[in-house]
Amino acid sequence: MIKAIPRLLALILCWPLLGWADTDINLQLPWDHEFRFAGYYAAEDKGLYAKHDMRVNILSGFGPQGTPIDPIEQVLNGKAQFGVAGIELLYHPQANDKLRILAPIFQQTATSLFSLAGTPLSKLQDLTGKRIAYIGGSSQYYELQSLLRQLGIDTDSIVFTERNIDLNDLLEGRADVILAYGPQIQYQAQTRQIAVNELALNNFHRRYYGDILFTSAEFAERKPKHVADFMTASQDGWHYALDHTDELVNTLLRKYPRTYLRQSNLAAYNQFLANSLGVYIQYPAVPVGYSDPVRWQVVVDALLQVGAIHTPLNVNNLLWKPEENTQDYKQLLPYIAALCLCIALILYFVTRGRHRPLLVVLALTVILGTMLVERWLINQKHELVKINQLENNMQMRAQIEGVLNNTLTGIHGLATHISAQPNITQEDFKRFAAAMMRRDPSIRNIALAPDLKVDYVYPLEGNEAALELDYSKNDAQREAAYRVRDRGEMVLAGPLELVQGGKAFIARAPVFVSTENNEQIFWGLVAAPIDAPRLMLRAGLNPDHLLTPETTSVTSNIAIRGKDGKGTLGEVFYGNAAIFSHPNALTVPINIGSDSWILAALPPQNTELAQSSLLAIRTLALLVFIIFTLLISLLRKQEDKREQYEENIRQNQRLLTEIGDMAQVAGLRIAGGNSITEISSQAFNIMHIEPRPTPFSADDLTRNLSRVAGLKLLFVMRKCQDSKERQQTEIQVEIPDGQIQWIKVIFSPQPNGELIGAIQDITRQKVNENTIREQATMDRITQLPNRWFFTEQTAIELTKAKRENTKVAMLFIDVDNFKSINDSLGHATGDDFLRAIAARLRACTRESDVVARLGGDEFTVLLTNIDDYKNAFKVAEQIIRSMNQAFMLLGNQIFSSVSIGISIFPDDATTTETLLSHADQAMYASKQSGKNNASFFTLAMQEHSERQHWIYNELVQAIEEDQLSVAYQPIFNLADQTIADCEALARWHRPDGQTISPVEFIPVAESSGLISRLDLVVLRKSLALLNKTKNMGVSVNISPRLFHETEKGFANWRAMVMEHSQKTRVTVEITERLLVDDRLDAEQLLAELQREGLAISLDDFGTGYSSLSYLSRFNVNKLKIDRSFVMAIGRSKTQETLIETILSMGEKLGIDVVAEGIETQEQLEFLRERGCRYGQGFLLAKPMPDAQLMKLLREKNAIQSTS
């Protein structure tokens, strides 16, 4: 946030200077380029438009093929923002709703009538019976029509013709008179030296404006600032153009050549226009573009009369008015800027935690805010005063217009009366005039002037000099009289200084009478001086403020200009003339028929606030300062919490970035379908592209990818966008150094339509996967396929063989006596031996065959596409012969052999599992038949396998349903025939009465893993027996598999023993298999049991070739002589010697020795004589249930029962 404050500060300080960005503006002209539009050229050329950030295109009124372009249609269609046109604006069908008039550049029309010198044209009556040509669609026709109608001239006798006119229409006799743009025909006549008569319409009236700048209502409402700026720049351009005509002529010729209309000498033509336009624009007498609503209303009324428009227009709606600011923003701007600066500094100091400067800036902010509010209230008060003054002006206007209309109505009534009775007598005149003057005392006298010569005056006394006055010969009043005649309407002149003294307004009304042909002819005038002071007094004004030639200004807050009804062109005749130049002056027009006065007034200037208001504002400011001071302290506390929170976020972000770098993971965000708006730096490294600022196209991510890889990435992205579901893919990329890189791409759609993506470099993962795949499918030692891969390949080959109707042979190979080699020579040599076997197996098979190591010393060979089973046997014999050859490993000569089982597809099995199982069974048959040979799978093997499978299923159910029982075989003290211990043996009596021998179910339990559960059953029931005896112990067998259980088999067994109170009477019987298992730390496990008080007994001692080595490595408590030795007593001296040796060794080592399998008296006597302390066997007692054991104990008196 702190880094963003300078930008925020710059924005705050600069926002008042920021306008709208450069905007293209089109200005459509009604004609081709010429000096007539010089102001717009000057504004564009001198950069006046550019100051307001506008690029203005000034468009010719003709298209490329010379087709005229209608500015009104161009603006309405939005092809141009501004246009120039004549009064045709007013009678356009959409004028009232969709057009807005901005400024009439020509204050009076430039339309003139022209005829050749031989065709009289001194007055409008001369047009009767003439052919007049005019430009179709122009406003000139309606200007002339309204004037003719006003003067009562019959237009039916005039023939009007539409055409594109020029001077040739007169010369070639196509028209008697042409109605045209005055300066253009004047130039043509001058250059061709043709004498013409001109009758300018502006000689008769000032109704019509010309070259009106306008825009659309929609644009004016939507872009009021554009309109105001364009107006200002255009007005400034006209000022410059009128002051620098020569320069603008050159600019026009250089930058704005004509597109269609041609002139022989454009420079001379435009210079002529430059010299002619002053009379129409009337600058500086009238401000450029001045618009008088009264004149517009007169124009509208005139167009209504001639049928140009059919419904009245709302002039106030049609005229564009700039939005008036209710406040003087220029005065408030410094306060606002300073206040914004203070607010920015407050934010800055808050984020920095600098309290002292923060309070200083806060105080300054409150002071500036107070000053801003006070200034705003002053401006509001000023605006209210202006509104009140405008209301006063409107009331004053209404009073003046009411008084004037009352007076002028009487005069107009007299003119109407005379028009009806032109032969009025002196007596009738006196009676009518007397009545008028009684009704309106401000009328000083009334005169009638038939044919512009005064014949009647009332009252005559004091006005004798007015009789016989001929207006046509009086230089002072001739022009005014002619103006009344030509305009055909009442004119109010003055105020004037009367010869007989005093000031008066002269009202003159024309009188027209009808002939027998209903032709209106001019009869004369009605003139009436109206006493100016009395008129002002009746209107509520101070008569003393009327100005005289000696007094040009008086002290007053109002002023009136428009002498002789000339509006803004007229002189100031009332009040303080300086008011009109005051910037705060408020003006309203006063309508006098078709003429006008302008009333101006200054609102009161004292707009200071009351002391009570100032006190309230400043008290409130003080309270605000106190409140914000308290808030700052609270804000600081919150800021401390926020900073801690942000620091935590930054730490998390750093952690995520570091993790992303470590994991080679990058993130990105995609908006708008293909634009990357956010991306982490790690993405550029992964994709091997140069970092670049966002946003940029998603296509840039694929620059360094192959075409296929790039399309794959973009396809996944598009699929995610279309399906609105998470998508991912892995892409292989060849990086510049030639190595292969793997990239994983994931896209996830978001509710807002964006995509969140993740890019990860998974090259290392792919390498690891390949390594794992190799490890999962290949044997680490021999590099042969492992069991899983061999199974998969076998399934494939069996499917192929079934399809092709061929045979496949499975060879299951087990290395004979590998364990002894591994134990005697070490595991490293054992691994070398396995590799050597793998090499010989590959050498004995075809390349199409599959050789695998299943594990340990077991190998398999899959022989594909064999013709006969004999082929499989031949390969087996070749393998056996190869294996019988000596192996040389590290200087050692090793001899070995293998046992092979063979099964045939589809004869013996049709599935991989069954085929392998049958080959395994056949291999065991080879082992049982003496090893070093090969056997085919037979039906007997099948039956044996099915028997074992049945036993397994039934054994699982038996364990779950507690069908197993425990038989106990006593272990006797051979010296006194007492029972010292007993061995717990599992027995299985099925509910159907069938007994399964341990010889059958114990191997199945061992091979299937059920032995662990079986051991737990035996242990649980044996521990229950201990609760029934005092001194007798119990021996329980424990399988090596129990120590390999993944489901905590040994831990559960150990926990069951440790929880029993008589655990010290438990003896654990183990076999040599547990001691030689390299996967277990047997020494540590047995030591733990001994520390808990359990005894360890080594079962079947003497049968292993390394039994003696175990006694030196492991601390055992008992040895059990294997029954094979006991069975040889009396038959083998060697075996007897071994027994004697074991007994002697046990005595010297302090280990109790137990003889197993005593079945004859001779065996018993032999063992007693040699000092064997303990024994067990059928001679002494068979295994029995616990109840029978307890009975035997009582009979032998060996132990004392506690039950």
What pLDDT sits at residue 76?
93
Number of separate domains in the chain: 6
The residue among 1040, 1065, 1028, 951 whose CA lies nearest residue 1200 is: 1028
- Rounded CA-CA distance 1049/1052 in Å is 5
144-164 per-residue burial string, b: 16 or more CB within 10 A, e: under 16: bbbbbbbbbbeeeebebeeee
Query: From residue 358, how far is each of 249, 346, 618, 1015 by CA, in Å?
Result: 62, 6, 21, 83
Beta bridge mates, 853: 859
Q: Is residue 289 included in any domain, yes or no?
A: yes
Considering the domain architecture, whether residues 255 and 133 belong to the same structural domain is answered as: no
| DSSP assigned state of 691 | -
Whether residues 55 and 77 fall in one domain: yes
Q: What is the pLDDT of residues 68-104, one digit of tens each?
A: 899 999 999 999 999 999 888 888 888 888 999 999 9
**Structural domain includes residue 558:** no
Are residue 84 and residue 148 in the same domain, yes or no?
no
CATH of the domain at 102: 3.40.190.10
Average of per-residue pLDDT across 544-551: 77
Task: Give the residue-averaged pLDDT of 719-748.
Answer: 81
Q: Which pLDDT does position 1203 carry in this prediction?
A: 41
Quote the CA–CA distance of 816 and 899 in Å, as a whole number.
7
> Looking at residues 938-957, what average pLDDT do you find?
81
Region 127-142 average pLDDT: 85
Residue carrying structure tokens 């993962």? 765
Q: What are the C-alpha distances in Å from 125 to residues 140, 233, 450?
A: 18, 44, 19
pLDDT 10s digits, 309-318: 877 777 778 8
Q: What is the pLDDT of residues 402-445, one digit of tens each?
A: 888 888 888 888 888 888 788 888 888 888 888 888 888 888 88
Is a pLDDT exceeding 90 seen at residue 480?
no
**Helix, strand or coil for residue 671?**
strand
> What is the pLDDT at residue 882?
92
pLDDT-above-70 percentage for the chain: 90
Sign of the dihedral defined by the CA atoms of residues 687, 690, 693, 698, in that order: negative
1147-1175 per-position pLDDT tens digit: 888 899 999 999 999 999 999 999 999 99
pLDDT at 656: 61
DSSP string, 237-302: HHHHHHH-HHHHHHHHHHH---SS---S-HHHHHHHHHHHTHHHH-TTTS-TT---HHHHHHHHHH
Is 1017 found in the same domain as 985? yes
Mean pLDDT (whole number) for 1052-1070: 87
Residue 617 domain flag:
no
* Domain of residue 194, residue span: 111-203
Question: What's the confidence (pLDDT) of residue 10?
Answer: 47
pLDDT for 106 beyond 70: yes
Q: Which of 712, 737, 768 is the last residue of a domain?
A: 768
Within a domain: residue 743?
yes
Q: Where are the beta strands (DSSP E) in 711-849?
A: 727-734, 740-749, 755-761, 807-815
The rounded mean pLDDT for the chain is 83
* pLDDT over 60 (residue 4): no
Q: Which amino acid is at 297?
A: Q
* Same domain flag for 869 and 742: no
Whether residue 932 is found in the same domain as residue 1019 = no
Helix, strand, coil shares of the chain, percent, nearest 5, are: 50, 20, 30
Residues 570-586 have pLDDT tens digits of 788 888 888 887 877 88
Residue 647 domain-assigned? no
Q: Are residues 1001 and 1145 in the same domain?
A: yes
| pLDDT band, very low/low/confident/very high, at 22 (cuts 50, 70, 90) | low
- Do 439 and 413 fall within a single domain? yes
Q: Is there a domain that residue 377 lies in?
A: no
- Same domain, residue pair 22 and 90: yes
The C-alpha atoms of residue 610 and residue 643 are separated, in whole angstroms, by 47
CATH number of the domain encompassing residue 847: 3.30.70.270
- Spatial separation of the C-alpha atoms in residues 283 and 595, rounded to whole Å: 20
Residue 895's SS3 state is: coil
**Whether residue 533 sits in one domain with residue 462:** yes
**Both 1159 and 1010 in a single domain?**
yes
3-state secondary structure 281-298: HCCCCCCCCCCCHHHHHH
**In a shared domain, residues 481 and 584:** yes
CA 25 – CA 33 distance, rounded (Å): 17
Which tokens is 827 given? Answer: 């595991």
Q: Which amino acid is at 887?
A: F
The CATH number assigned to the domain holding 1040 equals 3.20.20.450
Terminal CA-to-CA distance of the chain, rounded, Å?
Answer: 87
Q: What is the pLDDT of residue 177?
A: 93
Residues 1085-1112: pLDDT tens digits?
788 888 888 999 988 887 764 456 667 7
CA 511 to each of CA 125, 489, 523, 1042: distance values in angstroms, whole numbers, following the listed order: 16, 9, 5, 140
CATH of the domain at 702: 3.30.450.20
Tell whether 422 is covered by a domain: yes
Q: Which of 289, 318, 347 is the last residue of a domain?
A: 318
Least confident among 70-74, 298-302, 517-521: 517-521
> Is 339 inside a domain boundary?
no
